[in-house]
């Protein structure tokens, strides 16, 4: 569930920034931290998010390299607003996909040793094949993340 909370936080942060509540540099830094914390999403989704984030990071690095940061930021947002908006739109769309994807894990199974795990929803325990990243609880059918 941490994953879902984080995705909502990212969307919230983008909305706050769009309303002038935080600077572009702060948003880019926060987005990076939040995306890196998304351990429960698929590698594919995470890589796609990082690719979009990298677009923003490059714009931000360019802005920060300018002498007069404050005024350049305004100029840059005016001239590159489409690029920035496209990256945000792509990030939000990827996050929505993650939220709506039924294949996403609904929680994390608790390891109890020797490849056995306990379901956090119904306390069922079962053995998981070595190397598995996900497993379905045999009792309540929740899709759970397996971390060893
Ligand atoms: Zn269960």
Does the predicted model carry a pTM greater than 0.85? Answer: no
Q: Token digits for 8?
A: 């909502």
Residue 41: pLDDT band by 50, 70, 90 thresholds?
Answer: low
Residues 82-122 have pLDDT tens digits of 888 888 888 888 877 766 554 667 889 999 999 999 999 99
* Of 29-33, 63-67, 90-94, the least confident: 63-67
Burial bucket for residue 30 (CB in 10 Å: 0-12, 13-18, 19+): middle
- If you average pLDDT over every residue of the chain, what do you get? 81
CA of 144 to the centre of ligand 1 (A): 9
List 145's β-bridge partners, or say none: 108, 134
CA of 8 to the centre of ligand 1 (A): 25
**Distance from C-alpha of 66 to C-alpha of 64, rounded to nearest angstrom:** 5
CB atoms within 10 A of CB 8: 12
CA of 1 to the centre of ligand 1 (A): 15
**Distance from C-alpha of 64 to C-alpha of 70, rounded to nearest angstrom:** 9
**Distance from C-alpha of 26 to C-alpha of 114, rounded to nearest angstrom:** 44
CA of 43 to the centre of ligand 1 (A): 25
Residue ranges covered by each domain of the chain: 2-100, 107-145
For position 100, what pLDDT does the model report? 58
Q: What is the DSSP string of 91-145?
A: HHHHHHHHHH-TTS-SEEPEEEETTEEE-TTT--EEE--TT-SEEE-TTT--EEE
């Amino acid at each position: 569930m941490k994953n879902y909370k984080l995705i909502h936080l990212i969307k919230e942060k983008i909305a706050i920034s769009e309303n002038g509540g935080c600077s572009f540099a702060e948003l880019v830094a926060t987005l990076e931290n939040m995306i890196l914390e998304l351990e429960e999403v698929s590698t594919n989704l995470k890589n796609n998010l990082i690719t979009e984030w990298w677009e923003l990071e490059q714009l931000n690095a360019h802005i920060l390299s300018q002498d007069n940061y404050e005024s350049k930021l305004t100029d840059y947002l005016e001239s590159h607003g489409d690029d920035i908006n496209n990256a945000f739109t792509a990030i939000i769309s990827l996050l929505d996909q993650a939220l709506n994807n039924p294949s996403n894990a609904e929680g994390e199974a608790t390891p109890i040793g020797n490849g056995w795990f306990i379901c956090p929803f119904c306390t069922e325990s079962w053995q998981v094949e070595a190397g598995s990243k996900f497993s379905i609880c045999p009792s309540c059918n929740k899709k759970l993340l397996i971390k060893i």
